[in-house]
């Protein structure tokens, strides 16, 4: 669709490097510890707390849960499943399923049976979490970081495959970056060898 010369020129341009441009370098999002999660959770309204808890239980992206209706969820088995039609990687031909275990099901049973499960938009919810962080006196975090928390928990306690399947990553290399166990191993190695 573009002239060959233009394509070649675009392929030879190197990507932006952190710290070498005027573009802002954003801090990498990390998992949130339970000692920060609980006080924030206590500051949220009951509806926002349900969404917060569901994010924590499933490792879903906020947008994935905010687009759901109960009709989207197959509740016929022990673990409920939502096979999303619209999601972040749908344009690449990838599938995305959300899995709801017993804790998540308790929350979903309180949700409306028709229409969206949650009627808040992503920005409003994110602002509610930030306000709850301030009220709880903890360093602010965004709801998406609960996905990182779940990923780290699954990787450290189960396996990289369990985290990959839950998060819907196509490649294990994406999931490999989630682990607090690696830091603990490095600390143990430094104590022993250095």
CATH number, position 160: 1.10.443.10
Could you tell me the two tokens for 40?
């924030």
Q: Give the DSSP letter of residue 112.
A: -
**Residue 85 predicted with pLDDT over 90:** no
Is 16 among the domain residues? no
Is 45 among the domain residues? yes
**Within 13-159, where are the H helices?**
34-43, 46-58, 62-66, 102-108, 122-136, 145-157
Is 73 among the domain residues? yes
pLDDT digits (tens, 9 = 90+) for 105-140: 999 999 888 889 998 999 999 999 999 999 999 999
Is 17 among the domain residues? no
Q: Say what the pLDDT of residue 130 is.
A: 96
| Number of domains, the chain | 1
Is 85 among the domain residues? yes
Segments forming the whole domain that contains residue 167:
29-171
Name 151's Cβ contacts closer than 8 Å, sequence gap at least 6: 31, 59, 163, 166, 167, 175, 178
Is 9 among the domain residues? no
Is 112 among the domain residues? yes
Is 5 among the domain residues? no
The DSSP bridge partners found for residue 116 are 69
Q: Say what the pLDDT of residue 103 is.
A: 92
- Specify the pTM: 0.75
């Amino acid at each position: 669709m573009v002239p060959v010369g233009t394509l070649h020129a675009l392929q030879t341009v190197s990507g932006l490097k952190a710290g070498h441009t005027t573009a802002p370098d954003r801090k990498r999002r990390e998992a949130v510890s339970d000692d920060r999660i609980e006080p924030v959770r206590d500051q949220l309204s009951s509806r926002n707390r349900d969404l917060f808890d569901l994010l924590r239980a499933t490792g879903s992206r906020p947008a994935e849960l905010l687009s759901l209706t109960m009709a989207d969820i197959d509740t016929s088995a022990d673990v409920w499943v939502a096979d999303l039609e619209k999601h972040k990687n749908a344009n690449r031909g990838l599938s995305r399923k959300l899995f709801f275990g017993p804790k998540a099901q308790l929350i979903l049973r309180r949700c409306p049976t028709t229409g969206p499960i949650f009627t808040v938009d992503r920005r409003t919810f994110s602002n509610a979490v930030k306000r709850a962080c301030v009220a709880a006196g903890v360093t602010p975090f965004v709801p998406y970081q609960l996905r990182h928390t779940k990923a780290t928990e699954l990787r450290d306690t189960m396996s990289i495959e369990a985290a990959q399947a839950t998060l819907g990553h196509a490649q294990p290399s994406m999931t490999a970056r989630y682990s607090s166990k690696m830091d603990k191993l490095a600390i143990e190695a430094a104590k022993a060898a250095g």
